[in-house]
Amino acid sequence: MVGDVELQPIAVLQEAFKITAKNFTKFLPAVICLFIAQIALLLLSLKIQLGNPSVFFDAFLTGQGFTADILKAGFMANFWSDVLIAPLYVGVSLMALNHSVGLPTKPSQIVKGFRLH
């Protein structure tokens, strides 16, 4: 509590790697679910704003037809997907915290962030 703690970055990373390797199969479904939800929300937001998400990706990849409206739609889609994914991110973070202190977790805990008020 006084702050007389010396953290050794290499030791911290080694411990984190051990914990992650030990719980990899339990944690991977939650991370995959989080990733899929993030992509789905991003595509949904682009569809709502542009009518077709490929308009954004085509303009981004080719560099042609990249207007201020398309750029704005990309920023807003990213913002809203980040805001809407936050409760799932909380659930994954809680799972990681449980792993770090040795508590068991279940993939269903990813939605635990929705119950927080």
Q: CB count, 10 Å around CB of 12? A: 10
For residue 116, the model assigns a pLDDT of 55
Across 94-110, b (16+ Cβ under 10 Å) vs e yields bbbebbeeeeebeeebb
For residue 96, the model assigns a pLDDT of 82
For residue 36, the model assigns a pLDDT of 92
For residue 108, the model assigns a pLDDT of 75
- Report the C-alpha gap between 114 and 66 in whole angstroms: 37
Report mean pLDDT in 10-residue bins for the chain, 117 residues. Answer: 78 85 80 88 88 84 82 87 85 82 77 66
- Report the C-alpha gap between 95 and 110 in whole angstroms: 7
For residue 23, the model assigns a pLDDT of 77
Across 34-70, b (16+ Cβ under 10 Å) vs e yields beebbeebbbebbeebbeebebbeebeeeeeeeeeeb
For residue 65, the model assigns a pLDDT of 77
For residue 101, the model assigns a pLDDT of 81
